[in-house]
Structure 1
Amino acid sequence: MSLNLVISHRGDFDGLASASLLIRRTLREGSPFILSLKNYEDVEKIIESRFLELENSTIMILDLPLRFGAEEEYEKLSILSRKNNKIIWIDHHPADEKEINTMRNVAEVYIDSSKPSATRMVYEYLELKGDKVASRIAEIADQIDSWNFSEEMSYSIMELVAFLKYLDNGHRLYPFLNSFVMYLAGLEGEFKLTEFYTKMIDEYRILKKKAIEIVRETFHLIAVGDYKIGVAWAPRILTGSIAGEYLLQQENLDYIIIVSENGGGSVRRGREDLDCRIIAEVFGGGGHPYASGMRLSEKPISRREYEYIARMIGTKLRDKFGGGSNE
């Protein structure tokens, strides 16, 4: 069986947009494809057993950190490589040189943390300069992933993806996210959102306003060493980025940590001279200087359980950086 297997991050617009660009090209070629959306908690689940029968195919892994190439996954990729499959890994998260060199035994690896988005890297790799819609998708992905919004459209799309993720929660096929990737892949002429999607954004903003009130109510200030660090809990409908940015606008903080209902954690910074990775790494996470993440629990974290998690965060950070207390 020969086809194009697209494995991409489903957690934000960058992963969805990266997949859409590859599918755009695949549609032009008339080649069959499979889309498989994964998230950061899917470690050792990137290559599903049903894919191990592929031969003479192209497998592209997009916007997923190389740490996903854990030992079991590396073995699966090795099997696929021996079956004459072309494996390409494209990402803009920082990676260890040893990890990169190891993965290059079975795949073409393109890692560049200086790029604003993985979508930009895919756009350049596929040489899509003549595709105006693809160019627009990459431009929007750059703004969203680097949190550098120069237009309202980009922020609206970030909100839309947050709502689609929320609606897909608990559904193993992620119908809303998959449909959005296909929508982007099939756009022609100019980039635009349908009335269906614009209404969803309006609905999300109503729900978002209520959720932000909960974020405000759960806020704690932690004095850790020389840093002022905020911690708050966000219900599933809010991304860590949206909740964190709200609190950074309200409070004078060095860092904000958002504990998400889904068990994840997100770190944002209040000043450009700070590095979010030093906070995330305390909890086994990582990412970019301007935004990082980590997994705090393998299970969902309720608002009640959050109080325990907040104390644990404070304790670990003080052990690392010294002094202070929770307020």
Structure 2
Amino acid sequence: MKQQEIIERIQKAEHVVVIAHVNPDADSLSSASAVYTYMLKLHKKVSFFCSSKNIDEKLKFLPWVDKIKNSFPSGADLAISLDCGSYARLGVELDIDLINFDHHQSNDNYGTYNIVDESAISTTQVLFDFFKANGIEINRKIATALYAGLIDDSSNFSSHKTDHRVFDMAKELCLLGADSKSCNSFVSQYMSLSAYRLKGAMMLDMQLYANGSIAVLCVDQKMMQKYGAKASDCEAALEEALHLPTVKIAFLLRENKNMSLKASLRSKEDIDVNAIAKHFGGGGHPHAAGFTLLGNDMQKAAQEIITLLKESI
């Protein structure tokens, strides 16, 4: 798909809806924020949609997050999805043209138009390349949004995918006026008291398997309620478990309010956890993937997943 066709389709649109995925992270919200700004610069009628009602407090500094609506607007003739690794992540059924910007390996090009770059560290990097290639001006709001997604998905430039492209992008965004201080303060350093307490409890209960190569963290609703925590509060412990020298895979199993189970996988370079996620109908990246299981038998599900993880090591 030629990018010029996408530019022309955007120019023809009367009402554009920008979509951040279900339970949005910094990359999805930042990408959507950047595209929302771009639509405003084009003087387009634009709506900001996310089906999830609760937006992480640390991301509310991003431009236009206060414009998010949970109901899909009527009368739109074009949607643009950001960082949605699968169609289900949109949180809505569409009957209009869709432009799909993403970087997930699991993305099956479900859009009418697709720009999916698996080599990119974040969807904000995909957008940055798109803007640069098509001569689209990056103002301060766009630069700040793109920078926020970049530092989140690169884990503050520590991810194994961090390369010269990432640093070149960060440098240019800073020169274009990105508010890097706010991005660092909120995206990288912000943590609520409930998240601190939950992380301590998760680390205390963490189990190691396969000679310490698999770290397993389980969080049920009772624990979430005890600390007043949110789903996103579990991420810090998952990421930090991978810092242990013997651990090759960190695995989180979290009970949702609807009694389903959300599994999140992280791995070091030589292990592809996306293949495990696909086995259960999920997806993501080779070193960061996830899936959802129906039912709430956490111990049974954990043992089944641990067995597969042992085989992958």
Q: TM-score, normalised by structure 2?
A: 0.65
- The equivalent residue for 1:185 is none
2:6 is aligned with 1:6: no
- The equivalent residue for 1:90 is 101
Cα distance in 1 for partners of 2:309, 2:189 equals: 42
- The equivalent residue for 1:191 is 179
Cα distance in 1 for partners of 2:305, 2:189 equals: 39
- The equivalent residue for 2:38 is 25
Letter in 1 for 2:298: I
Cα distance in 2 for partners of 1:50, 1:141 equals: 24
Cα distance in 2 for partners of 1:200, 1:245 equals: 14
Per-residue deviation, 1:240: 4.5
- The equivalent residue for 2:66 is none
Alignment CA distance shift 1:239-1:114 (3 Å): farther
> What is the aligned counterpart of 2:289 among 284, 287, 292?
292
Instruction: State the Cα deviation string for residues 251-299 of structure 1 (Å, max 9, x = none).
Output: 6212111122433211111x3222221332343222111211111347x
2:258 is aligned with 1:273: no
- The equivalent residue for 2:247 is 253
Cα distance in 2 for partners of 1:201, 1:93 equals: 22
Cα distance in 1 for partners of 2:201, 2:17 equals: 40
Per-residue deviation, 1:17: 0.4
- The equivalent residue for 1:313 is 302
Check the 8 A contact 2:14/2:44 in 1, yes or no: no
Per-residue deviation, 1:201: 8.9
Cα distance in 2 for partners of 1:193, 1:320 equals: 39
Check the 8 A contact 1:94/1:287 in 2, yes or no: yes
Secondary structure (helix, strand or coil) at the match of 1:213 reads helix
Alignment CA distance shift 1:64-1:201 (3 Å): closer
Count matched residues. 249
Secondary structure (helix, strand or coil) at the match of 1:204 reads coil
Bigger Cα displacement from structure 2, 226-235 vs 286-295: 226-235
- The equivalent residue for 2:197 is 210
Cα distance in 1 for partners of 2:310, 2:178 equals: 50
Alignment CA distance shift 1:6-1:213 (3 Å): same
Cα distance in 1 for partners of 2:154, 2:245 equals: 21
The alignment yields a C-alpha RMSD, in angstroms, of 3.8
Check the 8 A contact 1:241/1:268 in 2, yes or no: no
In the alignment, structure 1 segments of 5+ residues that lack a partner are 40-47, 81-85, 151-187, 302-307
Per-residue deviation, 1:93: 0.8
Secondary structure (helix, strand or coil) at the match of 1:59 reads strand
Letter in 1 for 2:75: L
Cα distance in 1 for partners of 2:34, 2:243 equals: 34
User: Runs in 1 of length 4+ with deviation above 4 angstroms?
Assistant: 48-51, 197-203, 319-323
Instruction: State the Cα deviation string for residues 58-87 of structure 1 (Å, max 9, x = none).
Output: 3111111234389x97xx54x42xxxxx43
In the alignment, structure 2 segments of 5+ residues that lack a partner are 1-12, 53-69, 159-175
Cα distance in 1 for partners of 2:281, 2:241 equals: 24
Per-residue deviation, 1:141: 1.4
Secondary structure (helix, strand or coil) at the match of 1:274 reads coil
- The equivalent residue for 1:162 is none
Letter in 2 for 1:215: M
2:163 is aligned with 1:139: no
Per-residue deviation, 1:20: 0.5
Cα distance in 2 for partners of 1:199, 1:144 equals: 10
Check the 8 A contact 2:198/2:234 in 1, yes or no: no
Cα distance in 2 for partners of 1:318, 1:201 equals: 33
Letter in 1 for 2:242: L
Per-residue deviation, 1:117: 0.9
Cα distance in 1 for partners of 2:280, 2:140 equals: 41
- The equivalent residue for 2:29 is 16
Letter in 2 for 1:266: S
> What is the aligned counterpart of 1:242 among 229, 236, 243?
236
Instruction: State the Cα deviation string for residues 8-46 of structure 1 (Å, max 9, x = none).
Output: 12420001001101111222233322111146xxxxxxx
